[in-house]
Each structure stands twice: as C-alpha cells, then as structure tokens.
Amino acid sequence: MGYAFCVGRCCACGEAISFNPLKVPSLRIDGERQPLCRNCFDLWNEIHRINQGLDPLPIHPDAYEPCNEFDLP
C-alpha cells in the first residue's frame, strides 16, 4: 500500500501547498476544482459564513494529509 498527495497552489493566494485531493476544500473555477489553503479557507469561512451569522464550515482533518493510493479514482 502506498500514499498519495497533490502539490499545487492555493487558488486564492497562490501559496504552494500539499493536500489530499479528495478532502481539500476547494472552489470551482471554470468548472474545475481548485484547492484552497487552510488560511484562505478560514478567511472564506469568516467572510461568507461567520460574518453572515452562520456556523463556519468544518475543514476535513485529513485535508492536507496524504491519502491511501487505493482511494484515488
């Protein structure tokens, strides 16, 4: 058994991040999922959820951890 993770850039700030492609928070840009770093996700939650009186969306605990290679499509 092996593990896999992706390396890319946050679609909001451009920071290089490694992430679990199945669990990372993302935004759809031109129809494709683009990853968000933890800081940008927290900022998004604050602006779009907390400031609107809504509960913040939780981040998956494995969002920035490797995944089992067999979990990939």
Tokens of 72: 């990939």
For 2-37, the pLDDT digits (tens) are 999 899 999 999 999 999 999 999 999 999 999 999
Give the domain extent around 38.
3-71
Cβ atoms of 11 and 26 within 8 Å: the answer is yes
Task: Please tell me the predicted confidence (pLDDT) of residue 9.
Answer: 97
d(CA 52, CA 22): 28
User: Which letter does DSSP use for residue 24 in this model?
Assistant: S
The total domain count for the chain is: 1
Task: Please tell me the predicted confidence (pLDDT) of residue 50.
Answer: 97
Task: Please tell me the predicted confidence (pLDDT) of residue 49.
Answer: 97
